[in-house]
Amino acid sequence: MAKKQLVVIGNGMAGARTVEEILQRGGAEQFDITMFGEEPTGNYNRILLSNVLNGSYKEDEIFLNPLSWYEENNIRLHTGKKASGLLRRARLVYGEDGQPEAYDKLIIATGSRAFIPPMEGTTMADGSLKPGVFVFRTLEDCRQIADWAKGKQTAAVIGGGLLGLEAARGLQNFGLDVSIVHLAGHLMPQQLDATAGAMLKTSMEKLGMKVLLNKNTAAILGADRVLGLRFADGGTLECDMVIISAGIKANWEIAAGCGLTVERGIVVDDQMRCPDDPDIYAVGECAQHRGHVYGLVAPLWEQAKVLADHITGKNTKAAYHGSKVATKLKVMGVEVASMGIVDPQTPDDEVVQFSEPKRGTYKKLIIRDGRLVGGILLGDISKAAYLIQTFDRNTPLPEERLHLLFDIGDPPKQVTFAEIGANAQVCNCNGVSKGAIVACVNSGKRNAKAVMDATRAGMGCGSCKSMVTEIVQWACGGETEEDPSVHYYVPGVPLTKPELIRAIQERNLRSVSAVFDYLAGGKEDAASKPGLASLLKTLWKGEYEDEKDARFINERVHANIQKDGTFSVVPQMPGGITSPAQLRQIAFVAEKYHVPLVKLTGGQRIDLLGIRKDDLPKVWHDLDMPSGYAYGKSYRTCKSCVGSDFCRFGLGDSISLALKIENEFQGFDSPHKMKLATAGCPRNCSEAMVKDLGAVAVEGGKWEIYIGGAAGSSVRKGDILCIVDSHEDVLKYMGRFIQYYRENAKYLERTHGFVTRVGMDQIRAVVVEDSEGIGERLDREIAESKAAYQDPWKGAWLPANENQFASVLPVLS
């Protein structure tokens, strides 16, 4: 099949990026590609122009696509040639020289140009800018500004927006006195509120700039070159040069000239196509999508992907839904980051702010429905990466708002990942360095999950997962590819947890192999098995069809595997309460089976370590105690302090509460382990406030119920779910939370991760206030799970199969 002709008008970041995306999707086999570029060079990173001006980058360092790239990819590039006409009926694009190019598909990526507000004396008679007047959009502008600035004394920048401030800072490097002339009442009005704008003004003035606000420039003075400015209020300012940076204007003329719909930009649909002509697309700063014209690079990247998916037919359903805009100011010595709206818009918008004008620090967040809708950071932007990501993904915010603004109690966070050495260990469990993560990204793994699978970073205790994710994003330059499987409950079944539960119930699937057969096309995935087994047991309880091979070895043999292949045995001992008779029995077993190590656990129990698999049933039989579940992704135990019987401070009976809790929830499968504790007073000797669930007695016969605490690889104080009057209510609300967690958490998500992800407001609403009307159902599920409980050690002399515990089988012949 003959290749189609693809013509791209514009060779800036949007045009070239879109072509790259098309090539990545095998576009070279479908299209002969021709590009028009008004500038004489290949594509360069326009964002870094202010860095070229201030001297921190050389010109050749900002090129993204050198001319050789076009050759290598067989792209015909017309450099230094503007496309001047478009004939849609004939499908022809004309260059300035009158030469036509035929197209089957056309992409308009003409970008934008500087907006020049009406001012007297801006141009000469021939329409060119007056000598000394510049705009700041291209590499050529940059060169001319640098040439002119040599030997001059003073400069004025018209426009106190992001680009204007960066240009002003760049001019200072030429030894000029720089004044910023701004029409509005505060700097960077798109990104800052008035308070932040005022503080930014002070910061800029400290850098030696003059900032004039509320100044409307009426005229540029000087007959044949710039001598100064005259303002509408009659005042004047002498200067040797002027940079106009008063906003941008989309280059839509070529589209308007042939009847395509144009408003502030070229109007496109969700596939980046012009609604009037299915063969013409527009992308980048010239395009207008759902009323928005974006002047930043991040939206452009998203648009380019959708366009490429659609034009190559790779994914004709790909759709662009608009972008959330976040920016950072790149001015040495002044740190500014901003996202979303700058002031609250509804009475319910929550504003969290911190202001320290003396040090130039200001932080303000606008929160709606528990999610970030706007933010300003000035002076200290160490939390910017986290906040921008949270904003961009619309993830729920943690209850504790203070941590959004500051790193408190955590080790000081690196400002950027560039500062961390390549050898620095990121994952301490699996010994993965930053360098290894970056190398993995460079080898083509473009999302956190793929990198974690390949390097095992974050796959140990999991506490470094968020850091690994951030490093992957940093290494990808912010363009990670979303892996849909991160939303699945287990990687091998392409369904989220609610979808999976629905499918399991509708089809009455009671075993792991049935789930693979019906929901994963018969394809077994080893790593997905334990998660599915856990969920099926939670859903079907006694009706669950147990397939031993789906269980991790610990749950297959009801003991915890050790590094040498032996196992540890921990009998049940709720509240840490034991008796002389029990201790004698344990001592007897330890001696009989030559147990190499007897140790007290963190959960107030006794651990017999180093037991051979073959001996497990005999050990259980001789112990004659129930399993303590110290091996399972399940309810583990509930420890306790002495409580009110003996302790002179005790306010509540924590021991008998611990026994009731154990009796209620013992053996429950759950997404991850659950460790509990009860404390008889707020001295918290049993550490109940940092357990997955805890109950703490307080004065007045009440109990505080804590959830989401952690004191393992993560350390977190739990949140108070509610305060109740009786042991029965502790059991009731703990049970409701446990069931809600079992039904909604991802596999291997501890309660602290679940609580921060879902948010306390939501959990409290469902569990305590019964906002979804499921309270009674949750109670019932708990009662059914309890009724289905069977002590696995009791079956010691009735193994699931005859060699369940055999470490080596005899050979026949």
Partner 1 sequence: MQARITQQMTRTKLGPVSNIPPGEGRVYCVDGENIAVFHTRSGAVYAVQALCPHRGGPLADGLVGGTTLICPLHAWKFDLTTGEALFGDCGLKTFPVHIDDDEHMIVLDGK
Which chain residues interact with partner 1 by CB under 8 A?
Answer: 430, 453-454, 456, 459, 492, 513, 523-530, 547-550, 552-553, 556, 561, 563-565, 800-801, 803, 806-813
Q: Considering the complex, what minimum distance in angstroms separates the CB of residue 499 from partner 1?
A: 21
CB contact at 8 A, 134 and 36:
no
Q: Considering the complex, what minimum distance in angstroms separates the CB of residue 343 from partner 1?
A: 49
Instruction: For strands 715-716 and 277-282, give the pairing.
Output: unpaired
Instruction: For strands 43-44 and 83-87, give the pairing.
Output: unpaired
Q: Considering the complex, what minimum distance in angstroms separates the CB of residue 517 from partner 1?
A: 10
Residue 762 or 804 having the CB closest to partner 1 = 804
> Cα-flanking dihedrals φ and ψ of residue 273, to 5°?
-95, 150
Q: Considering the complex, what minimum distance in angstroms separates the CB of residue 608 from partner 1?
A: 19
Q: How far apart are CA 759 and CA 346, in angstroms?
A: 22
Q: Considering the complex, what minimum distance in angstroms separates the CB of residue 513 from partner 1?
A: 6
Burial (0-12, 13-18, 19+ Cβ within 10 Å), 618? middle
Residue 663 or 803 having the CB closest to partner 1 = 803
Q: Considering the complex, what minimum distance in angstroms separates the CB of residue 524 from partner 1?
A: 4
**Amino acid sitting at position 772:** E
Q: Considering the complex, what minimum distance in angstroms separates the CB of residue 459 from partner 1?
A: 7
Q: What are the residues whose beta carbons fall under 8 Å from the beta carbon of 278, sequence distance 6 or more?
A: none
By residue count, the chain amounts to 813
Q: Considering the complex, what minimum distance in angstroms separates the CB of residue 548 from partner 1?
A: 6
Handedness of CA 123, 129, 131, 137 (dihedral sign): positive
Q: How far apart are CA 551 and CA 630, in angstroms?
A: 15
Q: Considering the complex, what minimum distance in angstroms separates the CB of residue 525 from partner 1?
A: 5
Q: Of 756, 760, 759, 761, which Cα lies nearest the Cα of 466?
A: 756
Q: Would you give the DSSP letter of residue 634?
A: B
Q: What are the residues whose beta carbons fall under 8 Å from the beta carbon of 446, sequence distance 6 or more?
A: 476, 479, 480, 481
Q: Considering the complex, what minimum distance in angstroms separates the CB of residue 589 from partner 1?
A: 23
Residue 126 or 802 having the CB closest to partner 1 = 802
Q: Considering the complex, what minimum distance in angstroms separates the CB of residue 803 from partner 1?
A: 6
Q: Considering the complex, what minimum distance in angstroms separates the CB of residue 516 from partner 1?
A: 8
Residue 104 or 546 having the CB closest to partner 1 = 546
| Residue 454 CA neighbour count, 13 Å, CB half | 18
Q: Of 226, 213, 217, 243, which Cα lies nearest the Cα of 119?
A: 217
Q: Considering the complex, what minimum distance in angstroms separates the CB of residue 515 from partner 1?
A: 12
Q: Considering the complex, what minimum distance in angstroms separates the CB of residue 197 from partner 1?
A: 52
- Collapsed DSSP state (helix, strand, coil) of residue 229: strand
Residue 307 or 452 having the CB closest to partner 1 = 452
Handedness of CA 407, 410, 411, 414 (dihedral sign): negative
> What token pair was written down for 38?
């008004």
DSSP 152-171: --EEEEE--SHHHHHHHHHH
Residue 556 or 639 having the CB closest to partner 1 = 556
Residue 502 or 523 having the CB closest to partner 1 = 523
Q: How far apart are CA 637 and CA 297, in angstroms?
A: 52
Cα–Cα distances in angstroms (integers) from residue 191 to residues 157, 265, 301, 336, 707, in the given order: 19, 21, 21, 9, 38
CB contact at 8 A, 440 and 451:
yes
Residue 550 or 641 having the CB closest to partner 1 = 550
DSSP 274-329: ETTEEEEEE-GGGEEETTB---SHHHHHHHHHHHHHHHTTS-TT--------EEEE
Residue 765 or 800 having the CB closest to partner 1 = 800
Q: Considering the complex, what minimum distance in angstroms separates the CB of residue 452 from partner 1?
A: 11
Residue 611 or 705 having the CB closest to partner 1 = 611
Phi-psi region of 666 (alpha: psi -120 to 50; beta: other; left: phi over 0): beta
> Cα-flanking dihedrals φ and ψ of residue 68, to 5°?
-60, -30
Residue 517 or 622 having the CB closest to partner 1 = 517
Task: 294-302: list long-range contacts, CB under 8 Å, 24+ apart.
Answer: 294/323, 294/325, 295/112, 295/248, 296/325, 296/327, 297/13, 297/47, 298/323, 298/325, 298/326, 298/478, 299/323, 299/325, 300/13, 300/14, 300/17, 301/17, 301/479
Q: Considering the complex, what minimum distance in angstroms separates the CB of residue 480 from partner 1?
A: 21
> What token pair was written down for 778?
């949750």
Q: What are the residues whose beta carbons fall under 8 Å from the beta carbon of 358, sequence distance 6 or more?
A: none
Q: How far apart are CA 100 and CA 91, in angstroms?
A: 10
Residue 787 or 798 having the CB closest to partner 1 = 798
Residue 218 or 561 having the CB closest to partner 1 = 561
For 407, other C-beta atoms within 10 Å of its C-beta total: 12
Residue 233 or 564 having the CB closest to partner 1 = 564
Residue 374 or 617 having the CB closest to partner 1 = 617
Residue 121 or 494 having the CB closest to partner 1 = 494
Q: Considering the complex, what minimum distance in angstroms separates the CB of residue 521 from partner 1?
A: 12
Residue 515 or 651 having the CB closest to partner 1 = 515
Q: What are the residues whose beta carbons fall under 8 Å from the beta carbon of 99, sequence distance 6 or more?
A: none
Q: Considering the complex, what minimum distance in angstroms separates the CB of residue 742 from partner 1?
A: 22
Residue 543 or 614 having the CB closest to partner 1 = 614
| Residue 35 CA neighbour count, 13 Å, CB half | 31
